[in-house]
C-alpha cells in the first residue's frame, strides 16, 4: 500500500511540473505574445538552438512523466527524473554559462524552485523504490 505522502508529493509535483509543460507547449506553439512576453523575450526564446530545445523537452517532459509514474507507483519514476535532471543541467549550463541571458528572462527564484523540486522528486522516487513502494 502506498503511504499517504506519496499522493501528496505526486499531486503537488504533478501540478508544478504541469506548469513547465504548459510553458514549453506555449513556447513551441508560438503563443508567447498572448501570455504577455515582450518582443525581446520572444526573440530570446526563438533563438534557442535545437539541441537546447531538446534538453528543455527532456527536462520538462521527464519531470512530468516522473510525477505521473510516481502516482502510478512505477519504478520508472526514477529513470524519468534522471532524464529530467539531464535536461535541467543542460539548459542551466546553456542559460547561465554559454550565453548572456537578458535580464528580463532571468528568474533565479523560479530556477531555484525548479532545481529544488527536481532534486527532491528524484530523491523521493529513489527512496520509495528502495522501500518497495514503486514496482
For residue 26, what pLDDT is reported? 96
Instruction: Examine residue 33 and state whether it is found in any structural domain, yes or no.
Output: yes
As for how many domains the chain has, the answer is: 1
135 within some domain: no
Q: Is 102 left (phi over 0), alpha (psi -120 to 50) or beta?
A: beta
> Rounded to a whole number, what is the largest CA-CA distance in the chain?
51
| Distance from C-alpha of 38 to C-alpha of 123, rounded to nearest angstrom | 37
pLDDT-based confidence at residue 78 (cuts at 50, 70, 90) = very high
Q: What is the pTM of this model?
A: 0.94
Identify whether 80 is part of a domain.
yes
13: pLDDT strictly greater than 90 = yes
- Name the pLDDT band for 104 (thresholds 50, 70, 90): confident
pLDDT recorded at residue 130: 97
Classify residue 65: in a domain, yes or no.
Answer: yes
Higher local confidence (pLDDT), 95 or 104: 95
- Average of pLDDT values for 74-84? 98
Which range marks the domain in which residue 21 is found? 4-130
Q: Is residue 9 part of a domain?
A: yes
Percent of the chain with pLDDT over 70: 100
Q: Rounded distance, CA 20 to CA 127, Å? A: 24
Amino acid at each position: 500500500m502506498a503511504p499517504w505522502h506519496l499522493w501528496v508529493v505526486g499531486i503537488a509535483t504533478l501540478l508544478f511540473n504541469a506548469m513547465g509543460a504548459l510553458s514549453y507547449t506555449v513556447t513551441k506553439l508560438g503563443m508567447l505574445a498572448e501570455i504577455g512576453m515582450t518582443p525581446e523575450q520572444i526573440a530570446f526564446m526563438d533563438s534557442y538552438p535545437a539541441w537546447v530545445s531538446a534538453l528543455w523537452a527532456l527536462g520538462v517532459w521527464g519531470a512530468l512523466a516522473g510525477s505521473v509514474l510516481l502516482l502510478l507507483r512505477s519504478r520508472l519514476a526514477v529513470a524519468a527524473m534522471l532524464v529530467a535532471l539531464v535536461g535541467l543541467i543542460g539548459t542551466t549550463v546553456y542559460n547561465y554559462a554559454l550565453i548572456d541571458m537578458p535580464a528580463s528572462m532571468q528568474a533565479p527564484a523560479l530556477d531555484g524552485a525548479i532545481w529544488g523540486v527536481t532534486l527532491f522528486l528524484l530523491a523521493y522516487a529513489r527512496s520509495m523504490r528502495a522501500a518497495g513502494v514503486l514496482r
